[in-house]
Amino acid sequence: MALLDISRLKKTYGNGEIALKGVDVSVEAQEVVALLGLSGSGKSTLLRCVNRLVEPDSGQIVLDGVDITSLNKSSLRNARRNMGMIFQEFNLIDRLTVLENVLAGTLGVTGTLRGIFRAFHGDDIQRALELCERVGIIDHTRKRADQLSGGQRQRVGIARALMQHPKILLVDEPTSALDPKIGREVMDLLKSITKEAHIPMLVSVHDIVLAKNYSDRIVGLQGGEKIFDQPTASVEAEALDQIYHEASSQTAYSSD
Amino acid sequence: MTDYAIANPLREPKETFRRYAIFGLCAIIVLAVGKDIIIDKTDWERMGTLQEMIKTALFFVPEWSFFPKTVLPLLETLLIAIWGTILAVVVSVPIAYLAARNITPLPWITYPLGRGLIVLSRSTHEIIFALIYVSALGLGPLPGILALATRSVGFLAKTTAEAIENANPGPIEAIEATGANRVMVFCFGVIPQIDPILVGNVIFQLDINIRRASILGLVGGGGIGLMFAEVMQNLQYSRAGVIVVGITGMVVIGEFISNRIRQRLI
């Protein structure tokens, strides 16, 4: 059985927008799966359903034998600790230092009082510094997060996610807010870290080149439906074209 | 059609008539009310001449030798303001948590509760709160402090709740995604985003509370107001003059300092 198994996942938003029409995706241990699709194809919704930042309407999500969809609030918090999430807009806390932002990754397992007073455990701080070193921001740990460049900020986001000792990384358009060169650096970093630490990754992208270069398998999404699901090496150009061809006839080619 | 499009719509006859009618009506109401409450209800006989008025005003020329005795009550007033504000901050943060639409725990129950408490606090004058607390706790600074705190909670909770609603949802979501509980999401994801606004508003509120604290004594709430009430009752107008100068000085200094701090924050 796969590490992450998503089956028949459906989601319709309150405004009537149908985001997912019953999607199946699975991620094997140590596999990098790219969700490829345009804005509005449902890839972000799919990612957010995995840790239930978005509540799915129906379907099942099983991570390492735990049925995420059936969990109550406190068990969900436990489950979320196993999933590191990385965001398009980094979602750092601007006014806190880089180190504090990385340490925020431990909040799920830190006592409430320690969390409130930011009194983190010594070994967590040690690990946070090691991760800062690994992702290349060790010189900036005392700076406020909003003083960093985009690429550096995403590195802080990566370190924060790794701080959780995640079983899987959920990565939502990690490079869309970055210029192409910095974006590739961030993807290189993500790929090498996931290989080193044997962490699988489910990553959404809208760029075919990124999907091809950095994934083991590509899942194509369009209008909330899965249109292909193949090992990256064997994905045909036609399948990829289909996503973009369809797009040119739609109006949904909007902001990202 | 084209004529109407070119012509100034304000000049359209019907519209002009309506404007004048509304203006005229307002003017009549203001004048009628003015005549009733100012001209009819003032005791013109007792007012006396301009000379006599100036003579009365001169009673208030400060008697400076009284000044040292006002220092302690002025200080007490300042402390009442500070304590009232601190207490209000402590109470307002949890109320803001309830009254912020995006993070309130049970939207159908806690949101109206939070908003209700804010309205309750904001709609009542501090003197009324002071009267209530004085009758419950007796005379002294404590009821004054509580009155100010009760009055200030509304403003602070309202502005804090609004700041929370305007906070960037991204970082909040990121903290939720780590599996942190509600309290930590609030302390890590929300508070750092709003604390500059919060501190600015607290200082602004303190500035206002110094002014409010100076009148609480009139109803037994302690501070300089109590001394002011006493000297007025004893017809010691020149001492009242000293107190007025003292209050003004304190308020001006308070405002100066609070402006400085808030500028530095922004």
pLDDT tens, residue by residue, A84-93: 999 999 999 9
Would an 8 Å CB–CB cutoff place B102 in contact with chain A? no
Interface touch B179/A79, C-beta < 8 Å: yes
* pLDDT band at A252; cut points 50, 70, 90: very low
Q: What is the dihedral of CA B106, B110, B112, B114, to 10 degrees?
A: -140
CB B81 within 8 A of CB B148: yes
pLDDT the model gives residue B209 = 95
pLDDT the model gives residue B1 = 46
B184 interaction partners in chain A (CB closer than 8 Å):
107, 110, 112, 115-116
Interface touch B180/A115, C-beta < 8 Å: yes
Residue B84 clears pLDDT 90, i.e. is over it: yes
Which has more pLDDT, A198 or A1?
A198
Paired tokens of B207: 């500035």
Provide CB contacts within 8 A for B262, sequence distance 6+.
Answer: B200, B203, B204
pTM for this predicted structure: 0.79
Interface touch A112/B184, C-beta < 8 Å: yes
Burial class for A175, CB neighbours closer than 10 Å (0-12, 13-18, 19+): buried
CA dihedral (B16, B19, B25, B27) positive or negative: negative
Q: What percent of chain B stands above pLDDT 90?
A: 67
Backbone conformation region of residue B138, classed left if phi is above 0, alpha if psi is from -120 to 50, else beta? left
pLDDT tens, residue by residue, A27-42: 999 999 999 998 889 9
Residue A254 clears pLDDT 50, i.e. is over it: no
Residue A97 clears pLDDT 60, i.e. is over it: yes
Residue B263 clears pLDDT 90, i.e. is over it: no
Interface touch A93/B192, C-beta < 8 Å: yes
* pLDDT band at A2; cut points 50, 70, 90: confident
Q: How far is A242 from chain B (nearest CA, A)?
A: 32
Phi, psi of A28 (to 5 degrees): -80, 165
Which has more pLDDT, A246 or B125?
B125
**Helix, strand or coil, per DSSP, at residue A183:** helix
Residue at token pair 């959780």: A164
